[in-house]
């Protein structure tokens, strides 16, 4: 298969993963899967949280597709889809776990309007500690902050995080 077609399949898969992540986050993690995701809306006390199991579960299709594409005769398209899923996972880890939640030390300061909005949108998502009432379920696409703040003001059933005391 032509490299340009494979690159398009890879990029389309990365884009589709944002929609998949939104759906999973909104209706599974904040629905029947809350028993795992709730750990992510509390202060983490160790290196890992139960919510990390979602990353393991979402990596399985990527690994399987790459393996089947390379070794199972499924072809380059399956490999490109598996790589696209892995690419989204890498973006997610870099943005969500590393930059927003500081699971690795860094000195990255969001400077672009897009980067600032996406980080703030995710922080607004974490203002809510309960299963219901959260806003902004995507990771790479987020509504404007004034829209999210308005949604939070009118949210039913949201248990908001109390401010943390410093020092």
Question: Rounded mean pLDDT of the chain?
Answer: 92
Q: What do you get for the CA distance between the two ends of the chain, in Å?
A: 58
Nearest C-alpha neighbor of 89 from the set 116, 46, 142, 52: 52
Q: Give the confidence band of 163 by pLDDT, cuts at 50, 70, 90.
A: low
**How many angstroms separate the CA atoms of 79 and 23, rounded?**
24
Q: Give the confidence band of 44 by pLDDT, cuts at 50, 70, 90.
A: confident
Which tokens in the block code for residue 142? 């987020």
Helical axes 113-125 vs 145-153, angle rounded to 10°: 20
pTM of the model: 0.89
Bigger pLDDT: 96 vs 167 = 96
Q: 43-47, 76-80, 143-147 — which is least confidently predicted?
A: 43-47
Q: Give the confidence band of 91 by pLDDT, cuts at 50, 70, 90.
A: very high
* In the chain, where the domains are located: 3-153
């Amino acid at each position: 298969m032509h490299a340009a077609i494979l690159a398009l399949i890879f990029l389309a898969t990365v884009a589709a993963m944002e929609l998949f992540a939104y759906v999973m986050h909104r209706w599974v993690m904040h629905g029947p899967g809350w028993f795992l995701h709730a750990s992510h809306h509390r202060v983490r006390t160790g290196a890992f949280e139960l919510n990390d199991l979602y990353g393991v579960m979402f990596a399985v299709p990527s690994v399987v597709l790459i393996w089947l594409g390379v070794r199972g005769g499924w072809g380059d398209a399956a490999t490109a889809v598996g790589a696209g899923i892995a690419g989204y996972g890498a973006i997610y880890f870099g943005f969500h776990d590393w930059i927003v939640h500081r699971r690795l030390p860094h000195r990255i300061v969001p400077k672009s309007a897009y980067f600032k909005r996406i980080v703030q949108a995710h922080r607004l998502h974490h203002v809510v500690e309960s299963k219901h009432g959260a806003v902004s379920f995507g990771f790479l696409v987020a509504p404007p902050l004034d829209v999210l703040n308005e949604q939070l003001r009118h949210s039913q059933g949201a248990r908001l995080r109390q401010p943390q005391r410093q020092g």
